[in-house]
Amino acid sequence: MRRRLQLKVFGIVFSLMLAFCQPMAVYAVEELDGGDNPEAVVETGDTVSAPVVVVGVVVQEDIAAEETVEGSEEVVPEGVGLDDSLVEEVPEATALEESNQVDEVTAETGARSEEMASVGVLEFPYAHISEEGDDVVDAEKYSLYVEGYDRLLCWAGTASNMLWMAGYAQNAINPLTGETFKSEDEVFDYYRTYFTDEAGDEFAGIVYFINGEYTEQGIPGASQLKGDAPQDGFFPSLNAYDVTIEVLQDSVSGVDVLETYDSLQDESAGCAGLGIYFWNINEEKIKGGHAITLLSIEKDEDGRYIGIWFVDSDDSTPYDSGLTGDTPEERAALAADAPNVRQYYTISYEEFDGEYIWMINDYVPSEYKTLILMLSYLMQYDPDWFKTSGGETPSSSVGAEAYDAIKDMMIEEGWAVFSPTGGIYDSANDTGYSMFVCRLANDLLNVYVDGNRLSFGSGEYKIYRSNNGIFTITFGTEVMQNLEVGEHTITLEFGNSEDVETIVTVK
């Protein structure tokens, strides 16, 4: 499993910062089976060339460019909802209800660690609660089915909630109004205005808001800054990487996203977003992802996690409730007036694909499991950060010496090979194998070698993402050395852009 080692916050070091080799954030795919629906994607004959560097060898891949429909063509798909949250398939019993209905049944869940799992299972009631309130921070999409506006911007909705709850937006001048942001809905409209309607990463969106640096620009499948987008962040003197944290679930290495949230809340105030993936039980593969805003964690009397409260940008969209707007201004106003709703779902801790992962129970139809794989955390805004301190803002970059140390560490662990020539893997001398890929890291769904899906939980591959948006995938020594002599196909399956396929020759 991958995790971002960017664990430094402003003035507090939580862990060693490895800015060059930041593990990817695997989520925000934003579509569930959307790529299979011909009405959901508007393609052109144009292609863009994205270099895929396989351990030093550049391989040119032609990628069909997806056109963002600025005219906001309305598309109502059949079957599975095109947005990430499977709206079309959600059974009536789990759909959002205006009243505070609580449905309870009995279920079993695994313990929160392998040690606890050996003791037995825990029993607690399942429940789904929806509560509408004026105090709820809940940036809402306009529609799940109107292309070119905000259909794929769940990441932006989550970023908007986090920036508002943490107090950054209230201290920034909205270029659309000339005044400070007045709500999370205004922040969301800022993202709608300056970003294309494509998949993304709330972490990258928050960094752009703070520093003006957008690491996903130019990457196929990722939401892109439009031509008139501001080039500077709202807090250029603040290093965004010092106030943000992004980690991925990795029970093998002892990283638990919910425990991390609890720990950060104890250390300092802040807010969080969760990246979730949808695993199709029948097809045994990940089919899409989504971003939601975490509000709190519920515990039982013994302190064990049993449920989470969160807000979802998809649950009260006005267009899907019959309210339509013809202009961006009308649509933004309708979205801002949508009900603000917090939801509660129980969670379970289950063994999956080689490790233990938190799952949201009954969030989507029964043929899917909802996996909680990523946590983004933003520290509370502090005006004291901007007082004259006589020193420079801490930097998250690393020099050549640190990079060499990171590389050596990876090689010692048997994970990375930086020097094979021409895509050749020498099983007698090499350990792992690495690829450098120019794609949206968050958009990666599944990884295959010769058509066989690799497990992210059992350590068959790991992923790291650098600040420039290019990510590195490394295949474990055991995986590579089990390959027979000859050519083998490595396939990276993406949700919103063409798959990457390359050949490695084992000798």
Closest CA to 478 of 439, 440, 427, 403: 427
pLDDT digits (tens, 9 = 90+) for 357-404: 999 999 998 899 999 999 999 999 998 887 643 334 334 444 566 666
Output the pTM of the full model.
0.67
DSSP 8-state secondary structure symbol assigned to residue 146:
B
* Neighbouring C-beta atoms of residue 178, cutoff 10 Å: 7
Q: What is the pLDDT of residue 497?
A: 81
pLDDT averaged per 10 residues in sequence order, the chain, 507 residues: 30 23 33 37 31 27 34 37 38 34 30 34 60 95 95 97 97 94 98 96 95 89 93 89 90 90 91 95 92 95 93 95 95 97 95 88 92 95 70 44 68 62 78 78 84 80 67 84 92 85 88
CB atoms within 10 A of CB 26: 28
Q: Which residues does 484 contact at the CB level (< 8 Å), separation at least 6?
A: 506
pLDDT per residue as tens digits for the range 151-170? 999 999 999 999 999 999 99
pLDDT at position 442 = 67
**CA gyration radius, the chain:** 22
* pLDDT, the chain, mean: 74
DSSP-derived letter for residue 112 is S
3-class secondary structure per residue, 227-282: CCCCCCCCCCCCCHHHCEEEEECECCCCECHHHHHHHHHHHCCEEEEEEEEEEECC
Phi and psi for 158 in degrees, rounded to 5? -65, -45
Q: What is the pLDDT of residue 461?
A: 84
pLDDT at 340: 97
Contact call for residues 163 and 296 (beta carbons, < 8 A): no
Q: Which amino acid is at 499?
A: D
DSSP state of 183: S
Helices (runs of H) and strands (runs of E) counted in the chain: 8, 22
pLDDT for residue 402: 65
